Amino acid sequence: MADTMQFDLVSPERSLASLEVTSVLIPGADGDLTAMPDHAPVITTLRPGVLRIDGPAGQAEYLVSGGFAEINATSLSVLAEKAMPIGEVTRAQIDEMIEEARATHEAAKETFKNEPGPVDDAAKMLADMVALGDHINV
């Protein structure tokens, strides 16, 4: 069993991390999961949350707003819709993300009056963003 795995985190704006890690806590859409070396192959969607990494270089945390994670035995790639190191997050950025989620929820309620699925998805995204904002507390 290997002690580390390759971890890459990218967003549309930039590559945020490319390093060896021992574990990564991922905010998966179906629940949090921890990826470690020799993990079974999995592809999952992300929900808004904090992605935590541990490795030989130490620990780091990143805010992610959604995206995908591809895990296999030797590597983990995260393609995030938005991502930034927790230390760079400002209250204004969190508030902007919450407002975007709120606008998406309102639009879904107008567009999908008799289709609860898309409205529920937008409501969940809004709730996740609000919880993330409360958790980070910047």
Q: Could you give the maximum distance between any two Cα atoms of the chain, in Å?
A: 52
Distance CA 126, CA 104 (A): 8
Answer with the residue of higher pLDDT: 51 or 131: 51
Domain that holds residue 72: 5-86
* Total-model pTM: 0.83
Determine which of 36-45, 81-90, 111-120 has the lowest per-residue pLDDT on average: 111-120
- The CATH number that applies at residue 56 is 2.60.15.10
- Pairwise CA distance, residues 50 & 84, whole Å: 10
Q: Which residue has 């409501």 as its token pair? A: 123
Residues 62 and 103 in one domain: no
pLDDT in tens, 48-83: 999 999 999 899 999 998 999 999 999 999 999 999
Residue range 23-36: mean pLDDT, rounded: 94
Q: Answer yes or no: do 16 and 75 share one domain.
A: yes
Task: List helix spans (H) across 13-138.
Answer: 91-111, 116-136
Residues contacting residue 113 through CB under 8 Å, at least 6 positions apart: none
- Residue 81: CB atoms within 10 Å: 13
Same domain membership, residue 98 and residue 54: no
| CA distances for 33 relative to 22, 42, 50, 68, angstroms | 14, 11, 12, 13
Asked whether residue 1 carries a pLDDT value surpassing 60, the answer given is no
Structure tokens belonging to residue 82: 């938005």
Asked if residue 61 and residue 25 are part of one domain, the reply reads yes
Residue 110 host element (H or E)? helix 91-111
34 and 69 both lie in a single domain: yes
Find out whether 75 and 5 touch, Cβ atoms under 8 Å: yes
pLDDT of residue 90: 87
Among residues of the chain, what percentage have pLDDT more than 90?
A: 57
Amino acid found at 62: Y
Residues 80, 95 share a domain: no
Q: Do 73 and 97 belong together in one domain?
A: no
Both 103 and 124 in a single domain?
yes
Burial class (CB in 10 A: 0-12, 13-18, 19+), 60: buried
Q: Are residues 10 and 76 in the same domain?
A: yes
Domain final residue, candidates 86, 101, 120: 86
Our count of domains for the chain comes to 2
